[in-house]
Structure 1
Amino acid sequence: MFRYVLLVSIIIVSFPLYAATWHITYPKAEFEGDKRADYPRDLLELALSKTNVRYVITPSEGYLRQSKAIRKLKENIEINVVWSMTDRQREAEMTPIRVPIAKGLIGWRMLVTPKNSAFYRQEITNFVDLLSFIPVQGIDWPDTKVLQASGFNVATSQDMLEGYELVKRNEVDFFPRSVIEVLQELAAEQQGSGLAFKPKLVIRYPSAMYFFVNKRNKTLAKVIETGLNRAIDDGSFDELFLKYHGEMIKHFDLEQARVFQIENPLLPFQTPIFDERLWYDPVSNTLDTLK
């Protein structure tokens, strides 16, 4: 019995070259010109290239909001992998590959607001000051509950684009966006929108963005996990991370920012928070640690 289990394990991890071609479909970006999918897609392709599987990786036919993409994945329709911030519910409904693809930076939030807003001009010296302002988050995003748990009166939007519209119309005070998203999103906004992130002010909570697959697709989960770990071991994971995020980390100068640390009550206990290979802290680490 032991020899049989061992043999099955070897077959699963080796992924022989003669196996059938894997067709990997991921959610197409939410809107034309959305570059946020570039890094996760390239990381997924890097991971697959580290295994012996033959694969074809393509986007879905149409643009997919995150909520719709997750629903399709759970129903095993059209797509077979998504990337998303994790929480207990998502890990119960899908299979997570517990390698944080953004090394925890998804939880470092810059606060987007109009430059002419009271919030932009207001000096924030303590957390109570910050709680007097209203943020917006997606109605079904884990971030919404994370902020509510810390006392924020959170307005909700159907998606990211509506969130930006609400903040542009001054219907809310700020829109917390992760450091890996915000520059691309602001660049995609029309010139003259007047939006900016509030300098040297950050909300940070422990979180992870993972690749997820359908609950029944255990083999694909193992393929991706194996590829990611091989990329970590040979340094190509961090090389790609730096290619996409190195200059951005320097741009924000986060070690000089006022960082409000809040708890994340939705973080699953299985999160590998003590595996130092998987995380990057832009305040306590330097980029040299990734080289």
Structure 2
Amino acid sequence: MPLNFTLISILNVAFVCMFFSHSAIAAKDQVLIQKIAYSDIGHEDYYFTHLISLALSKTEHQYGKASLVEQSYRNIDKRLRSELHARNIDVIWSPTNEELETEFLPIKISLLKELGNYRLLLIRPEMQPEFSKVKTLNDLRQFKGGMSSQWTDAAIMEANGLPLVKAVGFSKLFKMLAAKRFDYFSRGLYQIQTEVNRYPELQLVIEKDLMLHYPNHVYFFVHKDNKALAERLTAGLELAMKDGSFDTLYNSIPRYRWGLEELNQHRRRVIYLDRTAKDVR
């Protein structure tokens, strides 16, 4: 989602509507999300905002019409979690973990399907010969990765003995990689194809031989007391999966199609990380 909140991150979307359950009990009129450029299909959050819209449209007959409304909040993981706690926003999406599922109400539908489980590496081009020698997890431990200190992925990688240089933020990690502060930047298979071209002046490339794997489901999360919204999104997503519109949206994202093609080529060495591992450093 790099939520972890997926940033790329977590998005808050607001929609104005009245929610009605089968017993005709109304929920709040307005739901808020962070303001982003979600009209750009290359943007990290395009898919998630359009998926929310799709789920809402599928349930209009039961809950009434709804429209998305933007709110201005800084796109920082901990800030967005705080705003969700305060009910200043109503939905976030992120790779799940135990802490999130305790704090909030998860909608346990894997939004990225299998793409969320795989990661590729951004590197400096001169490092490719060194990474081509990597055959095992232990080999990869000889290199330093870069990661946001707020992302779930950082804890997983460190628990598997992978040394990391951590920072707060996202864009600075690309510059730190180019400046040789670390050797690689692990990015989601669903993210990396557009990100590699985001900073052409840095001359970063996608590593050619490796792929990381660990279970990594991205869910929508709402406030624990907002069961009406959870029920509506769940119902809408299930209807979209049943009628094929979920897959139509999913497959319309160019970088998702690229990721699926890359995955189906089976040409990379897959290094498996244990999501339940204790720190082995």
Distance in 1, matches of 2:124 and 2:67, equals 42
Aligned letter for 1:261? Y
Alignment of 1:131-170 (within 5 A): 131-170=141-180
User: 1:67–1:29: structure 2 CA closer, same or farther, 3 Å change rule?
Assistant: farther
Distance in 1, matches of 2:100 and 2:109, equals 15
Deviation at 1:128, TM superposition (A): 1.4
Aligned with 1:50 (options 58, 64, 68): 58
> Considering only aligned residues, what root-mean-square deviation do their CA atoms show, in Å?
2.6
- Alignment correspondent of 2:8: none
Indicate if the aligned counterparts of 2:132 and 2:209 stay in contact, CA closer than 8 A: no
CA deviation map 1:239-261 (0-9, x unaligned): 11111122442256551111111
User: 1:111–1:119: structure 2 CA closer, same or farther, 3 Å change rule?
Assistant: farther
Deviation at 1:63, TM superposition (A): 4.0
User: 1:59–1:115: structure 2 CA closer, same or farther, 3 Å change rule?
Assistant: farther
Does the residue aligned with 2:120 lie in a helix, a strand or coil?
A: strand
Answering whether residue 257 of structure 2 is matched by residue 246 of structure 1, we say: yes
- Alignment correspondent of 2:12: none
User: 1:90–1:240: structure 2 CA closer, same or farther, 3 Å change rule?
Assistant: same
Does the residue aligned with 1:187 lie in a helix, a strand or coil?
A: coil
- Alignment correspondent of 1:41: 49
Distance in 1, matches of 2:264 and 2:31, equals 37
Does the residue aligned with 1:227 lie in a helix, a strand or coil?
A: helix
Does the residue aligned with 1:192 lie in a helix, a strand or coil?
A: helix
CA deviation map 1:142-183 (0-9, x unaligned): 111111111111221102212222211110111100011112
Indicate if the aligned counterparts of 1:110 and 1:197 stay in contact, CA closer than 8 A: yes
Deviation at 1:30, TM superposition (A): 9.2
- Alignment correspondent of 1:3: none
- Alignment correspondent of 2:205: 196
CA deviation map 1:206-256 (0-9, x unaligned): 011111111211110111011001111111111111111224422565511
Alignment of 1:93-112 (within 5 A): 93-112=103-122
- Alignment correspondent of 1:5: none
Aligned length: 252
User: 1:15–1:198: structure 2 CA closer, same or farther, 3 Å change rule?
Assistant: farther
Indicate if the aligned counterparts of 1:22 and 1:56 stay in contact, CA closer than 8 A: no
CA deviation map 1:89-138 (0-9, x unaligned): 01111111100111142221111111123676542122211111111111
Alignment of 1:108-123 (within 5 A): 108-117=118-127, 122-123=132-133
Distance in 2, matches of 1:233 and 1:197, equals 35
Distance in 2, matches of 1:140 and 1:93, equals 16
Aligned with 1:207 (options 216, 229, 232): 216
Aligned letter for 1:39? Y
User: 1:254–1:204: structure 2 CA closer, same or farther, 3 Å change rule?
Assistant: farther
- TM-score, normalised via structure 2 length: 0.81
Aligned with 1:257 (options 262, 268, 274): 268
Does the residue aligned with 1:117 lie in a helix, a strand or coil?
A: helix
Distance in 2, matches of 1:123 and 1:15, equals 62
Q: Which runs of 5+ in 1 are unaligned?
A: 1-10, 267-291
Comparing 54-63 with 91-100, which one deviates more in the overlay? 54-63
CA deviation map 1:26-76 (0-9, x unaligned): 223499x77001011111111111102321212322441223212211221
Distance in 1, matches of 2:78 and 2:127, equals 30
Indicate if the aligned counterparts of 2:57 and 2:236 stay in contact, CA closer than 8 A: yes
Indicate if the aligned counterparts of 1:112 and 1:174 stay in contact, CA closer than 8 A: yes
User: 1:148–1:240: structure 2 CA closer, same or farther, 3 Å change rule?
Assistant: same
User: 1:70–1:30: structure 2 CA closer, same or farther, 3 Å change rule?
Assistant: farther
Does the residue aligned with 1:202 lie in a helix, a strand or coil?
A: strand
Indicate if the aligned counterparts of 1:119 and 1:133 stay in contact, CA closer than 8 A: no
Comparing 165-174 with 179-188, which one deviates more in the overlay? 179-188
Aligned with 1:218 (options 206, 221, 227): 227
- TM-score, normalised via structure 1 length: 0.79
Aligned letter for 2:49? R
User: 1:24–1:140: structure 2 CA closer, same or farther, 3 Å change rule?
Assistant: same
Q: Which runs of 5+ in 2 are unaligned?
A: 1-19
CA deviation map 1:180-211 (0-9, x unaligned): 1112222222x221111101311110011111
| Identical-residue share of aligned pairs (%) | 24
